[in-house]
């Protein structure tokens, strides 16, 4: 009974950690994509203002 409870608890903990890790990785990917888009937008804005200043 006790070993069954322990294995069930361990399995639940493991699946929770796996789900947490997966969401962490997914959030990291989304965050890097957002950061990349922001950097591109910033470069675009800076490039336009730079061109305007030069013109």
- Interior angle at CA 19, CA 18 and CA 21, nearest 5: 65
Rg of the chain (C-alpha set): 24
Reported pTM:
0.48
Structure tokens at 24: 């962490």
CA angle 34, 37, 38 (to 5 degrees): 85
Q: 51: pLDDT confidence band, cut at 50, 70 and 90? A: low
Distance CA 38, CA 45 (A): 10
- pLDDT, tens digit, for every residue of 2-38? 677 778 877 887 788 888 888 888 888 889 998 999 9
């Amino acid at each position: 009974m006790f070993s069954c409870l322990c294995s069930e608890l361990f399995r639940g903990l493991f699946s929770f950690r796996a789900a947490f890790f997966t969401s962490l990785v997914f959030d990291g990917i989304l965050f890097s994509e957002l950061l990349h888009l922001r950097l591109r937008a910033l470069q675009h804005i800076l490039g336009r203002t730079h061109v305007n200043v030069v013109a």
